[in-house]
Amino acid sequence: MDASDGNDSVSSSKKSGKTSLLDSGEDFEVLDEEDIDDDLPPLEDAGGADGNKAEKKKEEEKSEASEQTDEWLDVLGNDQLKKKVVEAGKGRDSRPQKGQNVEINLKTQLMDGTLVDEQHNLSFTLGDGDVIQALDLTVQLMEMGEKALIHTDAKYAYGARGSLEPEVPPNAQLSLEVELLKAADAPDVELMPPSERIALAVRKRERGNVHYQRGDYAFAVNSYSIALQIAESSSKVDISPEEEEELLDVKVKCLNNMAASQLKLDHYDAALKSCVSALEHQPDNIKALFRMGKVLALQGEYTEAIQTLRKALKLEPSNKTIHAELSKLVKKHSEQRGAEQAMYKKMLGNPSSSSSTHKSRAKSSWSLSWKWLFGATAVAIGGVALSVVIAARN
Protein backbone atom coordinates (compact mmCIF):
# COMPACT_ATOMS: atom_id res chain seq x y z
CA MET A 1 0.00 0.00 0.00
CA ASP A 2 1.56 3.11 -1.21
CA ALA A 3 -1.15 5.22 0.33
CA SER A 4 1.26 6.48 2.97
CA ASP A 5 2.14 9.48 0.73
CA GLY A 6 -0.66 11.49 2.30
CA ASN A 7 0.70 11.05 5.78
CA ASP A 8 4.24 11.71 4.52
CA SER A 9 3.20 15.04 3.06
CA VAL A 10 1.57 16.08 6.30
CA SER A 11 4.57 15.12 8.43
CA SER A 12 6.97 16.81 6.00
CA SER A 13 4.99 20.03 6.22
CA LYS A 14 5.41 19.97 9.98
CA LYS A 15 9.15 19.42 9.69
CA SER A 16 9.55 22.27 7.28
CA GLY A 17 7.74 24.60 9.67
CA LYS A 18 4.89 25.32 7.28
CA THR A 19 1.35 24.99 8.58
CA SER A 20 -0.58 22.22 6.86
CA LEU A 21 -4.28 22.44 6.12
CA LEU A 22 -4.77 19.58 8.55
CA ASP A 23 -3.04 21.48 11.37
CA SER A 24 -4.42 24.95 10.72
CA GLY A 25 -6.11 26.76 13.58
CA GLU A 26 -6.83 30.24 14.87
CA ASP A 27 -4.84 32.12 17.49
CA PHE A 28 -6.79 34.29 19.88
CA GLU A 29 -5.23 37.21 21.72
CA VAL A 30 -5.65 36.99 25.50
CA LEU A 31 -6.18 40.34 27.21
CA ASP A 32 -4.89 41.13 30.68
CA GLU A 33 -7.48 42.12 33.25
CA GLU A 34 -5.94 45.61 33.55
CA ASP A 35 -6.50 46.21 29.84
CA ILE A 36 -10.24 45.57 30.10
CA ASP A 37 -12.34 48.76 30.38
CA ASP A 38 -15.05 48.32 33.03
CA ASP A 39 -16.87 51.51 32.02
CA LEU A 40 -20.04 50.83 30.08
CA PRO A 41 -20.43 52.65 26.76
CA PRO A 42 -22.91 55.53 26.53
CA LEU A 43 -26.52 54.46 26.30
CA GLU A 44 -26.88 55.66 22.74
CA ASP A 45 -23.92 53.46 21.65
CA ALA A 46 -25.12 50.30 23.38
CA GLY A 47 -27.15 49.14 20.44
CA GLY A 48 -25.33 51.11 17.80
CA ALA A 49 -21.67 50.38 17.13
CA ASP A 50 -21.63 46.98 18.83
CA GLY A 51 -24.83 45.98 17.11
CA ASN A 52 -23.38 46.97 13.79
CA LYS A 53 -20.22 45.00 14.56
CA ALA A 54 -22.26 41.91 15.41
CA GLU A 55 -24.26 42.20 12.22
CA LYS A 56 -21.09 42.80 10.23
CA LYS A 57 -19.49 39.71 11.78
CA LYS A 58 -22.51 37.60 10.88
CA GLU A 59 -22.42 38.87 7.32
CA GLU A 60 -18.69 38.04 7.09
CA GLU A 61 -19.31 34.54 8.40
CA LYS A 62 -22.12 34.06 5.89
CA SER A 63 -19.97 35.29 3.03
CA GLU A 64 -17.08 33.05 4.16
CA ALA A 65 -19.44 30.07 4.30
CA SER A 66 -20.79 30.87 0.83
CA GLU A 67 -17.25 31.16 -0.50
CA GLN A 68 -16.42 27.77 1.02
CA THR A 69 -19.41 26.15 -0.62
CA ASP A 70 -18.34 27.52 -3.99
CA GLU A 71 -14.67 26.54 -3.82
CA TRP A 72 -12.73 23.27 -3.85
CA LEU A 73 -10.02 22.84 -1.22
CA ASP A 74 -6.91 21.01 -2.44
CA VAL A 75 -6.18 19.10 0.76
CA LEU A 76 -2.66 17.86 -0.06
CA GLY A 77 -1.67 20.32 -2.75
CA ASN A 78 -1.37 17.66 -5.45
CA ASP A 79 -4.88 17.96 -6.93
CA GLN A 80 -5.57 14.33 -6.03
CA LEU A 81 -7.70 14.89 -2.93
CA LYS A 82 -10.19 17.76 -2.96
CA LYS A 83 -12.96 18.81 -0.57
CA LYS A 84 -15.92 21.09 -1.13
CA VAL A 85 -18.36 22.27 1.56
CA VAL A 86 -21.96 21.61 0.53
CA GLU A 87 -23.54 22.68 3.81
CA ALA A 88 -21.57 24.60 6.44
CA GLY A 89 -21.19 23.23 9.96
CA LYS A 90 -20.96 24.76 13.43
CA GLY A 91 -17.59 26.46 13.04
CA ARG A 92 -13.89 25.59 13.15
CA ASP A 93 -13.95 24.96 16.90
CA SER A 94 -16.26 21.99 16.32
CA ARG A 95 -13.78 20.11 14.13
CA PRO A 96 -12.87 16.63 15.40
CA GLN A 97 -9.37 15.78 16.57
CA LYS A 98 -7.16 12.89 15.59
CA GLY A 99 -7.75 9.96 17.93
CA GLN A 100 -11.41 10.78 18.54
CA ASN A 101 -14.22 8.44 17.60
CA VAL A 102 -16.36 10.03 14.87
CA GLU A 103 -19.66 9.10 13.28
CA ILE A 104 -20.57 9.98 9.71
CA ASN A 105 -23.06 9.32 6.96
CA LEU A 106 -21.24 8.23 3.81
CA LYS A 107 -22.27 7.81 0.19
CA THR A 108 -19.63 6.46 -2.19
CA GLN A 109 -19.89 6.82 -5.98
CA LEU A 110 -17.70 6.39 -9.02
CA MET A 111 -16.96 9.59 -10.90
CA ASP A 112 -19.62 8.70 -13.49
CA GLY A 113 -22.27 8.65 -10.76
CA THR A 114 -22.46 4.87 -10.27
CA LEU A 115 -23.41 4.14 -6.66
CA VAL A 116 -20.84 1.98 -4.89
CA ASP A 117 -21.97 2.01 -1.27
CA GLU A 118 -24.08 3.96 1.20
CA GLN A 119 -23.54 3.78 4.97
CA HIS A 120 -25.35 5.54 7.80
CA ASN A 121 -23.83 6.15 11.24
CA LEU A 122 -20.44 4.77 10.23
CA SER A 123 -18.12 4.93 13.27
CA PHE A 124 -14.31 4.89 13.25
CA THR A 125 -11.33 6.29 15.10
CA LEU A 126 -9.94 9.28 13.26
CA GLY A 127 -6.36 8.74 12.13
CA ASP A 128 -6.16 5.02 12.97
CA GLY A 129 -6.47 3.81 9.38
CA ASP A 130 -9.88 2.22 10.03
CA VAL A 131 -11.19 3.67 6.74
CA ILE A 132 -9.71 4.73 3.41
CA GLN A 133 -7.13 7.47 3.67
CA ALA A 134 -9.30 10.01 1.87
CA LEU A 135 -11.77 9.94 4.79
CA ASP A 136 -9.07 9.95 7.46
CA LEU A 137 -7.56 13.11 5.97
CA THR A 138 -10.68 15.09 5.07
CA VAL A 139 -12.96 14.43 8.06
CA GLN A 140 -10.34 16.22 10.20
CA LEU A 141 -11.17 19.35 8.19
CA MET A 142 -14.93 19.10 8.61
CA GLU A 143 -17.08 20.96 11.12
CA MET A 144 -19.79 19.33 13.17
CA GLY A 145 -22.95 19.04 11.10
CA GLU A 146 -21.09 19.87 7.89
CA LYS A 147 -21.91 18.15 4.63
CA ALA A 148 -19.06 17.91 2.16
CA LEU A 149 -18.26 16.51 -1.24
CA ILE A 150 -14.88 14.81 -1.60
CA HIS A 151 -13.15 13.80 -4.83
CA THR A 152 -10.26 11.42 -4.37
CA ASP A 153 -7.75 9.68 -6.59
CA ALA A 154 -7.47 5.90 -6.32
CA LYS A 155 -4.21 6.43 -4.44
CA TYR A 156 -6.14 7.58 -1.35
CA ALA A 157 -9.04 5.17 -1.82
CA TYR A 158 -8.78 1.53 -2.97
CA GLY A 159 -5.67 1.81 -5.12
CA ALA A 160 -4.59 -0.27 -8.09
CA ARG A 161 -6.25 -3.42 -6.78
CA GLY A 162 -9.72 -2.03 -6.23
CA SER A 163 -12.05 -3.73 -3.78
CA LEU A 164 -14.52 -6.60 -3.64
CA GLU A 165 -16.52 -5.23 -0.74
CA PRO A 166 -17.55 -2.58 -1.52
CA GLU A 167 -17.18 -3.36 -5.22
CA VAL A 168 -14.70 -0.84 -6.62
CA PRO A 169 -12.75 -1.41 -9.86
CA PRO A 170 -8.96 -1.00 -9.92
CA ASN A 171 -7.53 2.53 -10.14
CA ALA A 172 -10.99 4.06 -9.61
CA GLN A 173 -11.40 7.69 -8.65
CA LEU A 174 -14.25 8.19 -6.19
CA SER A 175 -16.76 10.86 -5.23
CA LEU A 176 -17.71 10.79 -1.54
CA GLU A 177 -20.64 12.56 0.09
CA VAL A 178 -19.92 12.91 3.81
CA GLU A 179 -21.92 14.31 6.72
CA LEU A 180 -20.20 14.64 10.10
CA LEU A 181 -22.63 13.65 12.85
CA LYS A 182 -20.65 13.15 16.06
CA ALA A 183 -17.20 13.28 17.57
CA ALA A 184 -16.18 12.11 21.04
CA ASP A 185 -13.02 11.14 22.87
CA ALA A 186 -12.14 7.46 22.64
CA PRO A 187 -12.83 5.49 25.83
CA ASP A 188 -10.02 4.71 28.26
CA VAL A 189 -8.76 1.27 27.29
CA GLU A 190 -7.73 0.46 30.86
CA LEU A 191 -11.33 0.99 32.05
CA MET A 192 -12.97 -0.96 29.24
CA PRO A 193 -14.61 -4.30 30.05
CA PRO A 194 -12.23 -7.07 28.93
CA SER A 195 -14.68 -8.40 26.34
CA GLU A 196 -14.90 -4.95 24.69
CA ARG A 197 -11.14 -4.53 24.79
CA ILE A 198 -10.64 -7.91 23.11
CA ALA A 199 -13.22 -7.05 20.44
CA LEU A 200 -11.54 -3.68 19.78
CA ALA A 201 -8.07 -5.24 19.47
CA VAL A 202 -9.45 -7.88 17.08
CA ARG A 203 -11.08 -5.19 14.88
CA LYS A 204 -7.81 -3.26 14.63
CA ARG A 205 -5.92 -6.46 13.79
CA GLU A 206 -8.46 -7.40 11.12
CA ARG A 207 -8.11 -3.94 9.61
CA GLY A 208 -4.38 -4.58 9.45
CA ASN A 209 -5.11 -7.82 7.60
CA VAL A 210 -7.13 -5.84 5.04
CA HIS A 211 -4.19 -3.48 4.51
CA TYR A 212 -1.80 -6.43 4.18
CA GLN A 213 -3.96 -8.19 1.60
CA ARG A 214 -4.10 -4.99 -0.41
CA GLY A 215 -0.32 -4.62 -0.29
CA ASP A 216 -0.46 -1.57 1.99
CA TYR A 217 2.20 -2.91 4.35
CA ALA A 218 3.03 0.36 6.12
CA PHE A 219 -0.64 0.87 7.04
CA ALA A 220 -0.82 -2.78 8.10
CA VAL A 221 2.06 -2.25 10.53
CA ASN A 222 0.26 0.80 11.92
CA SER A 223 -2.98 -1.14 12.52
CA TYR A 224 -1.15 -4.06 14.12
CA SER A 225 0.73 -1.64 16.39
CA ILE A 226 -2.54 -0.09 17.57
CA ALA A 227 -4.06 -3.52 18.19
CA LEU A 228 -0.92 -4.52 20.09
CA GLN A 229 -1.14 -1.46 22.33
CA ILE A 230 -4.76 -2.29 23.15
CA ALA A 231 -3.92 -5.92 23.93
CA GLU A 232 -0.87 -5.02 26.04
CA SER A 233 -2.45 -2.21 28.07
CA SER A 234 -3.04 -2.88 31.74
CA SER A 235 -6.57 -3.30 33.05
CA LYS A 236 -8.13 -1.45 35.97
CA VAL A 237 -11.07 -3.82 35.98
CA ASP A 238 -11.24 -7.50 36.86
CA ILE A 239 -10.17 -9.83 34.08
CA SER A 240 -10.48 -13.61 34.03
CA PRO A 241 -7.66 -16.03 33.10
CA GLU A 242 -9.59 -16.99 29.96
CA GLU A 243 -9.81 -13.34 28.87
CA GLU A 244 -6.09 -12.87 29.55
CA GLU A 245 -5.42 -15.89 27.34
CA GLU A 246 -7.55 -14.38 24.56
CA LEU A 247 -5.63 -11.10 24.77
CA LEU A 248 -2.34 -13.00 24.65
CA ASP A 249 -3.51 -14.86 21.55
CA VAL A 250 -4.42 -11.55 19.86
CA LYS A 251 -1.04 -10.13 20.85
CA VAL A 252 0.93 -13.04 19.34
CA LYS A 253 -1.13 -12.90 16.13
CA CYS A 254 -0.42 -9.17 15.85
CA LEU A 255 3.32 -9.74 16.33
CA ASN A 256 3.35 -12.50 13.69
CA ASN A 257 1.42 -10.42 11.17
CA MET A 258 3.57 -7.40 11.92
CA ALA A 259 6.70 -9.45 11.23
CA ALA A 260 5.23 -10.53 7.88
CA SER A 261 4.52 -6.88 6.96
CA GLN A 262 7.98 -5.76 8.07
CA LEU A 263 9.51 -8.49 5.91
CA LYS A 264 7.63 -7.09 2.91
CA LEU A 265 9.05 -3.65 3.72
CA ASP A 266 12.61 -5.09 4.06
CA HIS A 267 12.72 -3.97 7.71
CA TYR A 268 14.64 -7.06 8.81
CA ASP A 269 15.73 -5.90 12.26
CA ALA A 270 12.18 -4.87 13.17
CA ALA A 271 10.79 -8.16 11.82
CA LEU A 272 13.32 -10.15 13.86
CA LYS A 273 12.34 -8.21 16.98
CA SER A 274 8.65 -8.98 16.37
CA CYS A 275 9.43 -12.71 15.98
CA VAL A 276 11.50 -12.76 19.16
CA SER A 277 8.67 -11.06 21.08
CA ALA A 278 6.13 -13.60 19.78
CA LEU A 279 8.40 -16.52 20.75
CA GLU A 280 8.83 -15.09 24.25
CA HIS A 281 5.11 -15.67 24.77
CA GLN A 282 4.81 -18.87 22.74
CA PRO A 283 8.22 -20.57 22.22
CA ASP A 284 6.72 -23.23 19.94
CA ASN A 285 4.81 -20.88 17.68
CA ILE A 286 5.47 -22.29 14.21
CA LYS A 287 4.69 -19.09 12.29
CA ALA A 288 7.07 -17.07 14.45
CA LEU A 289 9.82 -19.70 14.02
CA PHE A 290 9.30 -19.85 10.26
CA ARG A 291 9.44 -16.07 9.82
CA MET A 292 12.41 -15.82 12.14
CA GLY A 293 14.23 -18.37 9.98
CA LYS A 294 13.46 -16.33 6.86
CA VAL A 295 14.71 -13.12 8.49
CA LEU A 296 17.95 -14.75 9.65
CA ALA A 297 18.52 -16.16 6.17
CA LEU A 298 18.01 -12.74 4.60
CA GLN A 299 20.54 -11.32 7.06
CA GLY A 300 23.07 -13.99 6.02
CA GLU A 301 22.87 -15.95 9.29
CA TYR A 302 22.45 -19.31 7.54
CA THR A 303 23.46 -21.60 10.41
CA GLU A 304 20.99 -20.02 12.86
CA ALA A 305 18.31 -19.88 10.17
CA ILE A 306 18.66 -23.61 9.40
CA GLN A 307 18.48 -24.46 13.11
CA THR A 308 15.34 -22.35 13.54
CA LEU A 309 13.60 -23.87 10.51
CA ARG A 310 14.53 -27.40 11.65
CA LYS A 311 12.89 -26.66 15.00
CA ALA A 312 9.73 -25.49 13.21
CA LEU A 313 9.76 -28.59 11.00
CA LYS A 314 10.14 -30.84 14.02
CA LEU A 315 6.96 -29.31 15.47
CA GLU A 316 5.08 -29.76 12.19
CA PRO A 317 6.82 -32.38 10.00
CA SER A 318 4.13 -32.33 7.31
CA ASN A 319 4.46 -28.62 6.58
CA LYS A 320 5.50 -28.41 2.92
CA THR A 321 6.28 -24.68 3.09
CA ILE A 322 8.86 -25.21 5.82
CA HIS A 323 10.30 -28.21 3.93
CA ALA A 324 10.75 -26.16 0.77
CA GLU A 325 12.27 -23.19 2.58
CA LEU A 326 14.66 -25.40 4.56
CA SER A 327 15.88 -27.39 1.54
CA LYS A 328 16.40 -24.19 -0.44
CA LEU A 329 18.33 -22.67 2.43
CA VAL A 330 20.55 -25.75 2.96
CA LYS A 331 21.43 -25.81 -0.75
CA LYS A 332 22.20 -22.11 -0.74
CA HIS A 333 24.33 -22.48 2.39
CA SER A 334 26.38 -25.36 0.88
CA GLU A 335 26.93 -23.37 -2.31
CA GLN A 336 28.12 -20.43 -0.28
CA ARG A 337 30.52 -22.60 1.70
CA GLY A 338 31.92 -24.07 -1.54
CA ALA A 339 32.45 -20.60 -2.94
CA GLU A 340 34.17 -19.49 0.27
CA GLN A 341 36.53 -22.50 0.21
CA ALA A 342 37.46 -21.79 -3.40
CA MET A 343 38.14 -18.17 -2.51
CA TYR A 344 40.35 -19.14 0.43
CA LYS A 345 42.37 -21.53 -1.78
CA LYS A 346 42.88 -18.78 -4.30
CA MET A 347 43.95 -16.32 -1.59
CA LEU A 348 46.47 -18.83 -0.18
CA GLY A 349 47.90 -19.67 -3.62
CA ASN A 350 46.50 -23.23 -3.77
CA PRO A 351 48.86 -24.78 -1.15
CA SER A 352 47.85 -28.37 -1.98
CA SER A 353 49.05 -28.11 -5.59
CA SER A 354 52.28 -26.34 -4.61
CA SER A 355 53.10 -28.98 -2.01
CA SER A 356 52.60 -31.76 -4.57
CA THR A 357 54.91 -29.89 -6.95
CA HIS A 358 57.58 -29.68 -4.26
CA LYS A 359 57.20 -33.39 -3.58
CA SER A 360 57.58 -34.30 -7.27
CA ARG A 361 60.64 -32.09 -7.56
CA ALA A 362 62.21 -33.67 -4.50
CA LYS A 363 61.43 -37.12 -5.82
CA SER A 364 62.97 -36.36 -9.23
CA SER A 365 66.11 -34.88 -7.67
CA TRP A 366 66.47 -37.90 -5.37
CA SER A 367 66.15 -40.35 -8.28
CA LEU A 368 68.71 -38.33 -10.24
CA SER A 369 71.25 -38.49 -7.44
CA TRP A 370 70.79 -42.25 -7.16
CA LYS A 371 71.36 -42.66 -10.89
CA TRP A 372 74.55 -40.61 -10.70
CA LEU A 373 75.83 -42.62 -7.74
CA PHE A 374 75.06 -45.93 -9.43
CA GLY A 375 76.88 -44.84 -12.61
CA ALA A 376 79.92 -43.68 -10.72
CA THR A 377 80.10 -46.96 -8.81
CA ALA A 378 79.83 -48.99 -12.01
CA VAL A 379 82.68 -46.99 -13.60
CA ALA A 380 84.88 -47.51 -10.54
CA ILE A 381 84.26 -51.27 -10.47
CA GLY A 382 84.95 -51.48 -14.20
CA GLY A 383 88.27 -49.66 -13.74
CA VAL A 384 89.37 -52.00 -10.97
CA ALA A 385 88.46 -55.09 -13.03
CA LEU A 386 90.40 -53.77 -16.01
CA SER A 387 93.50 -53.13 -13.96
CA VAL A 388 93.37 -56.68 -12.53
CA VAL A 389 93.14 -58.22 -16.00
CA ILE A 390 96.09 -56.16 -17.26
CA ALA A 391 98.17 -57.13 -14.24
CA ALA A 392 97.38 -60.82 -14.78
CA ARG A 393 98.45 -60.68 -18.41
CA ASN A 394 101.72 -59.07 -17.49
For the chain, percent of residues with pLDDT exceeding 90? 64
- Mean of the per-residue pLDDT values for the chain? 80
Helices vs. strands in the chain: H and E counts, helices first: 12, 6
Model confidence over 87-122: pLDDT tens digits? 999 999 999 999 999 999 999 999 999 999 999 999
Rounded to whole angstroms, how far apart are CA atoms 134 and 364?
Answer: 87
Strand order in the sheet with 147-152: 72-74, 81-87, 147-152, 174-184, 101-110, 115-125
Give the whole-angstrom CA distance, residue 362 versus residue 67.
103
- Angle, in degrees to the nearest 10, between helices 286-298 and 302-315: 160
pLDDT band at 8 (very low <50, low <70, confident <90, very high): very low
**Where do the domains of the chain lie, and which CATH numbers do they carry?**
57-184 (3.10.50.40), 189-345 (1.25.40.10)
CB 223 within 8 A of CB 205: yes
Model pTM score: 0.69
Residue 334's pLDDT band, with cuts at 50, 70 and 90, is confident
